[in-house]
Amino acid sequence: MLFHARANRSGSALFQIPEVWLIDLQGGHLDVHRAPDGGRYSARFRVTDRSHVEVASVPDLVLDCRDLF
């Protein structure tokens, strides 16, 4: 599964998809990858189940991560 996630993330960056979210239900976190640059994402951060995250392409849309877990 980890290989699959890495391959999808690299392919997404290569094709300039602006943002990728990987949800880890067992770990209780969301990994957000933004700013594609040369087949990789230059901005990455982890959001916990007590946090909020703003959708990059829709700045006024904020997701409460408690709804995911």
Cβ contact 59:67 at 8 Å: no
Host domain of residue 47: 2-67
CA dihedral defined by 15, 21, 26, 28, rounded to 10 degrees? 150
**Residue 1 pLDDT greater than 50, yes or no:** no
Instruction: Please give the tally of structural domains in the chain.
Output: 1
24-45 pLDDT, tens digit per residue, is: 888 888 999 999 988 889 999 9
Mean per-residue pLDDT, 38-67: 87
Mean per-residue pLDDT, 47-68: 86
